[in-house]
Every structure is written in C-alpha cells, then in structure tokens.
Amino acid sequence: MVHQVTVWLRPSEPVLLPFTYREELQGLVYRRLPEKLSRWLHDEGLPTQRGRFKPFVFSRLTGKLRPQPAFKALLATGPVAFHLASPLPEVAQGFAQGLLTQPRVRLHKARFTLEELTLSEVPLPQTPALLEARAPITVYRKENGQRRYYTPFEPEFAALVLENLRAKAQALNRETSGTLHLEPVGVTPRHKKIERFRRMIIEGWMGRYRLTAPPEILWVALTAGLGALGSQGFGYVEVVS
C-alpha cells in the first residue's frame, strides 16, 4: 500500500517563499485531501496517552531555492520538491489524488503547477536503521507554561523521541514491545534549526540518527515522523542507504 508521496512543483516565475512556508504546505495538505478525511485529521486525529496526533508528516522543500535573508524568504527559481508520508494509506493516496485533480497550487503569494508526483510503499526497515532528518526533529516539555526544548546531546532528547514514537505506534495498533535506542551520529551544534510556525518559535535538529527498534516501530518513524509536531512539518526522516 502507498504510504509516501513525493511532489515536484514548478513556479510560474521566480517567486519568494517566506521562511515560514511550512504553514502553507500544511494548509495545502488539508485542502487537497477529501473533505471528510481532512476534517477528521484537522479536528481529531488519533488518540494517545498524552493527547492526540495527526498521522502524517512532511519534509522541508528542496530544489531550486536560494535564501534571501533581507526578505526573510527563499527564492524559488525552478522546480521544488517535498515528501509527505502517513501510516494511513488513505491519507497519502487522498493527497495525491487531490493534487492530480487540482494541479495548480498557491503557497503564500507564489503560484506553482504540479510537475511530477510519485507514490511509494514504505517497506519494513531492518534494525538498526541509520536515519537522516529531512525536517528538524523537535521534542520539549512544558515548564512553568513555557516550552523547554531539548538537544540531541541531552538524554531527555532520545527519551522523549522514543516515548513519542511508542505512543504513535500504540495509537496505530502496532507492536510496541521491544527495546528502543536512539543516538545521534555526527550531529553538531550547526545542525540546530530555529523555526517559526505561526506564532511559535520552535527549536529542532537536522542530522543523522541511529535508531534501534523492532521493524514495526521503525516503520512508524518513517511514516509518522520522529518527535513532536509532525503534521506541522517536523521530524520527517528517511533511511540512509
């Protein structure tokens, strides 16, 4: 079954995308899904012990992009791409069908046209798996009403990522037993990213991570992301071949 979509979009002309384009990509996902599914994802999602999670995740944009710090934007001079994954095949398939039906896309003030779309299965990976973050991984706790973000150099980072991953697997009725271990591989302070989503300032981390877990839980990491805020464009990871 299909659990991953890769989307290529071509701008009508060189256009500026704000650094906060994640908000636009999230909105595109909801707009292109079937209405009933979109409403359920947006308003409900799947219950977990600590709340609910929206079972999809998407990557950063890649492609013909140049930073324009003076405008707090990226200049798209050619095709750009992103990946979306979901443990629910109806989400990936519904999003793909919506894009094929409505191939003209608006992100902020920029207009794009769907150039290419590929659908992929996500097979069960072998363990341990070397994963690369294609969107920053973020985890936090609330202290005195404020978010306290953790770094990969603190033990709480791995503990919270794995706790979150096990909760997602449980919500998806996947096997949750077995030992889980996460370690950064070559991650340095330069992998830190400060991102903005709506009014939130979010700290996340790119880089590579070795995840040891049962294959079913590894599969959840690939289709639902690592860490928090997957449906806001954080925690998308891929296996490094």
**Residues catalogued as catalytic:** 30, 42
Q: Residue 61 and residue 233: Cα distance in Å, rounded?
A: 10
Q: Residue 129 and residue 114: Cα distance in Å, rounded?
A: 32
* Residue 228 per-residue DSSP state: S
Q: Residue 198 and residue 25: Cα distance in Å, rounded?
A: 13
HSE value, Cβ hemisphere, 13 Å, CA-based, for 150:
17
Give the other-Cβ count within 10 Å of 118's Cβ. 13
Q: Residue 217 and residue 206: Cα distance in Å, rounded?
A: 21
Contacts of 27 (CB under 8 A, 6+ apart): none
